[in-house]
Amino acid sequence: MRVLRRLTWVVLSAFALFYLTSCGDGGGGGTVATTLVSQSFTTTITLAQEVPPPITPVGVIPGGNGRVTLDPATNVLTGSFTTTSVANATFAHIHDGNFGVAGPVVVPLTQSPVGSGIWVVPAGTILTTPQVARLRAGGYYVNIHTTLNPTGEIRGQLIPAV
């Protein structure tokens, strides 16, 4: 009987050892296919969002819209913004700042072609990990500067596209 009992324990121990060593630790022993999907952010650019309130141009209502796309694998940002009825635009930027708060420039934009009202994120623009977090949290806005309003004439908060 003792021999049978010992043999049972040996067999059970062997099965337990086999079972424990064949289990993964959850650390990625298997392969899981993951796809990183690009994320887009849009904005409507208006006078009403500008901080401080701009001098209102006579006879026109400037505005615009646009979209940027973030590649999550590389943090490369691409996109453009189109403005209408904006006279004498001097600069355009993506700034760090929550809604209603002015902040520093993060990405300078280029007008292409010059005078077109189309502002483009320069090729090869890469955001840092903290910048990506701010963008995703809605902490960035687009600002179009003019000779009439050098601190900004129209502004639009970047929000995740739906």
Q: 110-125: per-residue pLDDT in tens?
A: 999 999 999 999 999 9
Residue 16 lies in a domain: no
* Residue 48: both structure tokens together: 């009403």
Give the max Cα distance, the chain.
Answer: 105
Reduced to 3 states (helix: H, G, I; strand: E, B; else coil), residue 93 is strand
CB 54 within 8 A of CB 48: no
Residue 34 lies in a domain: no
Rounded CA-CA distance 30/77 in Å is 32
Rounded CA-CA distance 105/95 in Å is 4
Higher pLDDT residue, 57 or 156? 156
* Residue 12: both structure tokens together: 């059970």
Rounded CA-CA distance 162/149 in Å is 32
Q: Look up the domain containing 122 and give its range.
A: 39-160
Residue 32 lies in a domain: no
Q: 72-105: per-residue pLDDT in tens?
A: 999 999 999 999 999 999 999 999 999 999 999 9
pTM over 0.85: no
Q: 136-148: per-residue pLDDT in tens?
A: 999 999 999 999 9
CATH of the domain at 72: 2.60.40
State how many domains the chain has. Answer: 1
Lowest mean pLDDT among 19-28, 120-129, 135-144: 19-28
Amino acid in position 6? R
CB 85 within 8 A of CB 146: no
Instruction: Report the pLDDT averaged over residues 22-38.
Output: 60
